[in-house]
Each structure stands twice: as structure tokens, then as C-alpha cells.
């Protein structure tokens, strides 16, 4: 069931034009940076967008402008785990074998996860309760469980990626907020 929902929503997402992605991403960024959670956060984790995901570059650039400490994922494919790395600049990133930007190997600065105030995360599908369907590898589910409990988890996605209901698995960690181009959703558990 989850794989069918994921496939359907990602097909819609993949059909977006570059202009639609850029426009919606800017709207999402503006909604996000105007929240109190973002304003108050000093240590922010974010993913580096790929393909037609919500573009994170404008968010990252805003973090840099506001002197926020920024952290990005390095996926250890051997053990299927996210390693938290300090963002050292766009020029210190290279595409991985999957084409996703990640820190250059000799420039990796691993940091303790307990420093984070906020995590901005991707996903394929969400519901208004914060339940998430990821891309299927479980990297982020394991990552969420390794974080301190009071970290604010914010999903950024397009409004069509939010559906009525997702039946969570026992290992799923719900989001606290979802930001789309149309609204900021406070998830209720």
C-alpha cells in the first residue's frame, strides 16, 4: 500500500516543470523562514534537494545569511545510516554515485547530533498528523530515533504530497510540522 501511494505521488512530483519547482520552492522557503521555529533555531539540519524535491538551496542560503549553523547528511550506504556533517559551503560538495550532493570526503566535519534545534526533512508523502512515507530505505527513520526528543522536525513538500491518512509503522517517527506552498501544518498526534 505505501509503495503504491509513494509511486503515485512521486509520479506527480516528477511531472512538475523546473519553473513550478522553483516557484513552489520559493513559496515554501518564505513560509518556513517566517515561522518562529525557524527564527529561534540556531543549529539546523537540512537535506540537499535532488531532482524535483523542494529546493533547499534558498533555505540554506538564508541560513548562511542569518549566521545559522547548518548541518547536512552524508549517507553511509554500507550501514544505511545518516552521518551528520557541518555544511562548509557549496564549493565543498560533490555529487554522490546517486547524483545527490554530499560533502567531499576529505572535507567531512562530523558533529554530534545533540546540537540540533531543528531538522528539515524530505519525504514522498505525508498526512496532517505528521506521518511520513519516505523513499523506502529507512535512512531518515533511523536518523530521527537517534535525535534528542525535543528537536523540531519539519517536513517540506508540495501541497499534493499531503494526503488524508497514512497508517504508520511502529518504527515511523512523525513530523512536528509540514510546510507546503499553501500552508504551515502543525501536526497533531
Contact 46, 59 (CB under 8 A): yes
Q: Which three cell numbers stand for residue 10?
A: 512521486
| Residue where the block lists cell 496532517 | 128
The pTM score is 0.92
Q: What percent of the chain has pLDDT over 70?
A: 96
> Could you read off the pLDDT of 72-99 as tens digits, one per residue?
988 877 777 888 889 989 988 888 877 8
Q: What is the mean pLDDT of residues 28-43?
A: 97
CATH number reported for the structural domain that contains residue 100 in this entry = 3.40.50.10420
Instruction: Describe the strand order of the beta sheet including 125-127 as a list of residue ranges.
Output: 132-133, 125-127, 162-163
Predicted local distance difference test score (pLDDT) of residue 5:
95
3-state secondary structure the chain: CHHHHHHHHHHHHHCCCHHHHHHHHHHHHHHHHCCHHHHHCCEEEECCCCCCCCCCHHHHHHHHHCCCEEEEEEEECCCCEEEEEECCCHHHEEECCCCCEEECHHHCCECCHHHCCEEEECCCEEECCCCEECCCCCHHHHHHHCCCCCCEEEEECCHHHEECCCCCCCCCCCCCEEECCCCEEECCC
Please report, to the nearest 10 degrees, the dihedral formed by the alpha carbons of residues 133, 68, 73, 26 taken in order.
50
Digit-coded pLDDT (tens) for 124-143: 999 999 999 998 777 888 88
User: Please, which pLDDT band fits residue 100 given cuts at 50, 70 and 90?
Assistant: confident
On the question of pLDDT at 111 being above 70, the answer is no
Domain range spanning residue 98? 2-186
Give the chain's domain count.
Answer: 1
Amino acid at each position: 500500500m505505501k509503495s503504491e501511494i509513494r509511486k503515485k505521488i512521486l509520479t506527480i512530483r516528477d511531472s512538475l516543470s523546473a519553473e513550478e519547482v522553483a516557484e513552489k520552492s520559493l513559496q515554501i522557503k518564505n513560509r518556513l523562514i517566517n515561522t518562529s521555529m525557524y527564527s529561534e533555531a540556531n543549529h539546523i539540519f537540512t537535506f540537499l534537494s535532488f531532482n524535483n524535491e523542494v529546493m533547499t538551496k534558498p533555505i540554506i542560503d538564508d541560513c548562511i545569511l542569518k549566521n545559522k549553523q547548518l548541518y547536512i547528511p552524508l549517507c553511509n550506504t554500507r550501514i544505511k545510516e545518516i552521518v551528520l556533517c557541518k555544511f562548509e559551503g557549496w564549493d565543498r560538495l560533490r555529487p554522490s554515485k546517486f547524483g545527490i550532493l554530499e560533502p567531499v570526503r576529505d572535507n567531512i566535519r562530523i558533529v554530534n547530533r545533540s546540537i540540533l534545534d531543528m531538522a528539515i526533512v524530505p519525504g514522498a508523502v505525508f498526512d496532517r498528523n505528521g506521518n511520513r512515507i519516505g523513499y523506502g530505505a529507512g535512512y531518515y527513520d533511523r536518523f530521527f530515533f537517534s535525535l534528542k526528543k525535543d528537536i523540531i522536525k519539519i517536513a517540506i513538500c508540495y501541497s499534493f504530497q499531503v494526503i488524508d491518512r497514512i497508517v504508520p509503522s511502529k518504527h515511523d517517527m512523525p513530523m512536528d510540522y509540514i510546510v507546503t506552498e499553501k500552508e504551515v501544518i502543525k501536526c497533531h498526534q
